[in-house]
Amino acid sequence: MNFSQEVHRKQIEILRILSEQSEPMGSSLLRKELARRGFPLSERAIRYHLKLLEERGLVEGHEKAGRTITKSGLEELARALAYERIGFILTWYLSLAYRVTYSPESGRGEVVANVFMVDKNFREEAIKAVKNLYSVGLLPAPYVKVLDGEEEYREISAPEGKIAVMTVCNLTIDGILIHSGIPLILRYGGLVQFIKWKPIRFTELIAYDSTTVPPLEVFVYRRMTSIVSILRTGSGVIPANMREVPAVSENQTLKIIENLKKSGWGGILALGKPNESILGVPVSMDRCGISMVGGLIPAALLIEMGIPVETYAPHCLVPVEDMEKVS
């Protein structure tokens, strides 16, 4: 998904929301509804998109009352329903991974970021959760960025009374592998059981190419994880996913992962041998399986701790230079 596709996706969601209203809707209410649907945009960004939509004749302004969708807007929305087809999640994820520019050698470039909205009163707990996951190797990358209050960054801003916590998604590792010439297939999102700090098996699976919702969100919001238990005892269940790479790229994949580990990256649960099952899941012929910790793990941990979290994961690309190193 390139930049123009991202803009289109945001604008289609704005049209979708306006199509569900019987009265004009202002940017403040629109912002709240967009955030609820996975688009934490600032009011300035929303006004920008509304201006573009109005110039195209897709929405109509009603002075201070807000905007409504036009007949042309409804037609545009109808044409865009193809975005809801099965497989969109997989396409979106791989598109984000492909756009990664992070270089392990230079330590610079854009990474895929997850965004979590948390009440500002839980700021300390949120940061501590990220650090605790990093300390036991369950964080994909040692970077974090926090937006306070109404602070805006790349069209993202936290609502009043909340903070936005940004971490690196494991799709970044997929992107690094892809740009190293390793064709990768994202297969499943699920839950992995740990016993005494050792990943044992997948207990639940959802195929990425057969779903219209992000698989890990299903498990996290159903409270099916037990990360607090892992931090205390080494045993429990975490969100994780599984992908495949060609068997001929096994050594190259291992080398890339080892180099990332030297820079503090983590979250690799298992790297299988060619044609061998990984954590109980069979792989395709002449392929190796890789299991990584799901990027939603900080949100899952906070939810287990009783802290309300709104998740937008994965959400966007961010220069890793704009993030702080987790220590």
Task: Give the range among 1-5, 146-150, 282-286, 301-305 with minimum mean pLDDT.
Answer: 1-5
Residue 11: the pLDDT is 87
Q: Which residues of 142-164 are buried (b: 16+ CB within 10 A; e: fewer)?
A: bbbbbbeeeebbbbbbbbeebbb
Residue 10 backbone phi and psi in degrees, to 5:
-65, -40
What is d(CA 82, CA 67) in angstroms, rounded to the nearest whole number? 25
Topology given in CATH for the domain delimited by 3-84:
Arc Repressor Mutant, subunit A (1.10.10)
State the average pLDDT over residues 41-47: 85
State the average pLDDT over residues 136-160: 87
What is d(CA 77, CA 202) in angstroms, rounded to the nearest whole number? 39
Domain assignments of the chain as residue spans, ordered by start? 3-84, 85-327
Does the structure show a pLDDT above 70 at 4? no
Domain 3-84 matches domain 85-327 at the CATH topology level: no
**pLDDT digits 0-9 by tens, 150-170:** 778 877 888 888 999 999 999
Question: Which pLDDT band, with edges at 50, 70 and 90, does 213 fall under?
Answer: confident
Q: Which carries the bigger pLDDT value, residue 162 or residue 32?
A: 162
Portion of the chain with pLDDT greater than 70, in percent:
96
Residue 21: the pLDDT is 86
Residue 118 backbone phi and psi in degrees, to 5:
-135, 145
Residue 82: the pLDDT is 52
State the average pLDDT over residues 299-315: 91
Does the structure show a pLDDT above 70 at 273? yes
Q: Which two tokens stand for residue 284?
A: 């395709």
Residue 139: the pLDDT is 95
User: Is 85-327 assigned to CATH 3.30.70.1360?
Assistant: yes
Q: Which carries the bigger pLDDT value, residue 34 or residue 147?
A: 147
The listed range with the strongest mean pLDDT (6-15, 62-71, 264-273) is 264-273
State the average pLDDT over residues 87-115: 90
Question: Which pLDDT band, with edges at 50, 70 and 90, does 9 fall under?
Answer: confident
Residue 1: the pLDDT is 45
Does the structure show a pLDDT above 80 at 135? yes
State the average pLDDT over residues 68-97: 78
Does the structure show a pLDDT above 70 at 125? yes
Q: Which carries the bigger pLDDT value, residue 157 or residue 59?
A: 59
Region of 275 please: left (phi>0), alpha (psi -120 to 50) or beta.
left
Q: Which residues of 283-310 are buried (b: 16+ CB within 10 A; e: fewer)?
A: beeebbbbbbbbbbbbbbbbbbeebebb
State the average pLDDT over residues 184-207: 96
Average pLDDT score, the chain = 90
Q: Which carries the bigger pLDDT value, residue 136 or residue 32?
A: 136
Residue 87: the pLDDT is 63
What is d(CA 102, CA 278) in angstroms, rounded to the nearest whole number? 27
**pLDDT digits 0-9 by tens, 177-195:** 999 999 999 999 999 999 9
